[in-house]
Amino acid sequence: MKINWRGLIALGVIAVALFWAADSVRSRSYSGSNLNFGIGSGSVTVTNPSDAPVPVQLVGTGTRAFMVSSTIEEVEGSSTRQGTGRNTTQMFEFALPPGSSEITVARGTNVNFVAGADTSLEAMVQPQGATEARTTLIVAAVVILGALFYISRMNSHRWIGPLRRQAAVKQAAKLVSESAAAGHGQGRTIRSYGDNRADISN
């Protein structure tokens, strides 16, 4: 039995695209003390169950500053540069108040949320914002459709023939049904004519 490697590769591309898209947009949850996790370009909702604020650092790599916005009063702004050369990082520090708070990072890459206390926190991270998630899904859809078209072309688009025949059968059945409905109860009426021949007996 001959194996079509190109078809298998195309199927592999579809599987990778599906996994990449699902993994990129799915939410991630973290819980525990001394949390350290990546935020991405989306938002993170953190719950502090204690009665005291918890010191938090947002740490990013590189020289480019990132922007922070949040539902916490007066917690917004840009990160500050720390270190020089290869050891350069970007940092934004704040106190996480009791209760639930939402934090969003923009223009940042590889930004981590680092909690500096033993307080057990709960966090839900949406790694991509709405725009990034939409772009991810569009790219995945284009790749998948391209791979499906390639597989179809390898098989000379054989799947189109049965669909066309099925569509033709449905169209024919529809025309017959419409014709029968139009002619139902409207057969030609038999008309009776009297004998109009003149009486020539006289």
| pLDDT tens track for 74-112 | 889 998 888 777 778 889 999 999 999 999 888 766 788
pTM of the model: 0.62
Residues in the chain predicted with pLDDT less than 70, given as ranges, are 1-4, 108-109, 155-176, 178-202
Q: How far, in Å, CA of 69 to CA of 58, rounded?
A: 12
The H or E element containing residue 105 is strand 99-106
Asked whether residue 91 falls in the same domain as residue 164, the answer is no
**If we measure between CA atoms, which residue out of 97, 148, 86 comes closest to residue 119?**
97
- Give the CA angle between residues 180, 181, 186 to the nearest 5°: 85
d(CA 157, CA 15): 21
70 and 156 fall within a common domain: no
- Give the pLDDT score at 128: 78
- 53 plus 122 within the same structural domain: yes
pLDDT of residue 84: 76
Together in a domain, 45 and 112 = yes
Cα–Cα distance between 112 and 40 in angstroms, integer?
A: 8
Residues 94 and 16 in one domain: no
Q: Identify the pLDDT of residue 86.
A: 75
Length of the chain: 202
Give the total number of structural domains in the chain. Answer: 2
On whether both 109 and 169 belong to a single domain, the answer is: no
Its domain, for residue 55, covers 28-126
pLDDT at res. 124: 92
